[in-house]
Structure 1
C-alpha cells in the first residue's frame, strides 16, 4: 500500500447552528445544528443569516476524519434512508454568545452513539451533502472489507451436573442443603 492509499482521509467541515426562541419559559433559546459547510475555513460563531428572532451561525469548523478500521460503521450510516453526519457539541456554561463548542463531526453512527451514552454532549444528525456522501462512499469502496461470519461452536461438556456453591456451607447435613442455618438449628432442638 503506497502513501497515497493510506486508509485515512480528512476534510474540514463547517457547522451551521440555528438559534430560535425557546418554547418554554425555562429555555430562552433552542439551538440545533442544521447544516454543514464542506471545506469551510475557521470561524467562531459568525452570523450567517437573520430572520426575525431566528439566527443561523457558522459556529465552528471541525475536521471530519475517515479511518480504514471504521468502514463498517460508515457502511451502516450510508445505508440509512438519509445518510447523515453527526455533530457533537458541548455546552459552554457562562458564555451566552458562544453557548456550544464544536467537539467533533463524524460519519460513524457508532461513534455518535458513544457520545449519546454519556449524556454530557449534544449530538445532532445533519444530512450529508451529495459531495460529502460521494466522498465517504469512495472511501468505503476503496478500503472496506467484509468480515466473514464465523459461528461459534458449543462445548459438549455437561456443566449443569456440578453443584458447587449450592446451599450454605455452615450446614453439615446432606438433608436440605438449601435450608438457612437458623431453620436448621430449630429442627435440631
Structure 2
C-alpha cells in the first residue's frame, strides 16, 4: 500500500539548528509526491515528502501483532540526512514492524520516526495478520543421552603410558595407569 509521508518543518529551538524536522502523519493510498507543501502555520510548514510503499510479509506477522497490541499502534518512517536546503531529509522506507524499525536504529545513521496508525491502516494490517499468522509451537530442547565422560579427552597417543605426555589431559593419565 502506498503511504504518503508528511514531514513538518518548525523553527529550531537553538541557534545551532535552524529548523526542527519531524514526521507528523501518514496518508494511506496517497499518490506520488516530491516535497509538495500541504499546510503553512506561521513559520511551521508541512510537506508531503514522499510516497513509499508499505509491504507486509507473511513471515513478519509476529512483529506486526506486537505493534498492533502496543499502547499506540504505529508506523515507523526511516529517514536519512540528505542534501542541505529546503528538503534536507530523504525518506528511505516505511514499516509496520517495530522489530525492523529497531534494526535501523542500530547503525545510528538513520532517523526512525514513530507515527500513530490511522484506523483504516490498522484494520488493513490486522486483516493481513489474521490471514497469514501461524503460531509456532514452543519446542523445548532436550539433552542427548550420550555419556561424554567415557571418552578420553586430549589428543595424546594412547600407546604411550607415561604421564609426561604434554598432549594428554591430566585426568586421562590415571586411566592409562589403571590399564
TM-score by length of 1: 0.76
1:154 deviation in Å? 3.2
Q: Residue 142 of structure 2: which of 142, 145, 153 is its match? A: 153
Aligned residues: 157
Partner of 1:70 in structure 2?
60
> 2:30 maps to what in 1?
40
Distance (whole Å) between structure 1 residues aligned to residue 145 and residue 108 of structure 2: 44
Aligned position for 2:89: 100
The answer for unaligned runs of 5 or more in structure 2 is: 155-163, 167-179
Question: Is residue 85 of structure 2 the alignment partner of residue 85 of structure 1?
Answer: no
Q: Secondary structure at the match of 1:71?
A: helix
User: Residue 2 of structure 2: SS of its match in structure 1?
Assistant: strand
Tell me the equivalent position of 1:178.
none
Deviations 1:113-150 (A, max 9, x none): 11011111110000100000000000000000000011
**Superposition map of 1:109-124 within 5 A:** 109-124=98-113
RMSD of aligned C-alpha atoms?
Answer: 2.1
Please say if 1:16 is aligned against 2:28: no
How many angstroms apart in 2 are the aligned matches of 1:16 and 1:155?
Answer: 56
**Residue 131 of structure 2, aligned match among 142, 145, 153:** 142
Q: Secondary structure at the match of 1:65?
A: coil
Name the larger-Rg structure: 2
Question: Structure 1 or 2: larger strand share?
Answer: 1
Kindly indicate whether residue 51 of structure 2 is the aligned counterpart of residue 61 of structure 1.
yes
Once the two structures are superposed, what CA deviation does each residue of 1:89-120 show, in whole Å capped at 9, x if it has no partner?
11103x31211111111101111111011111
TM-score relative to the length of structure 2: 0.80
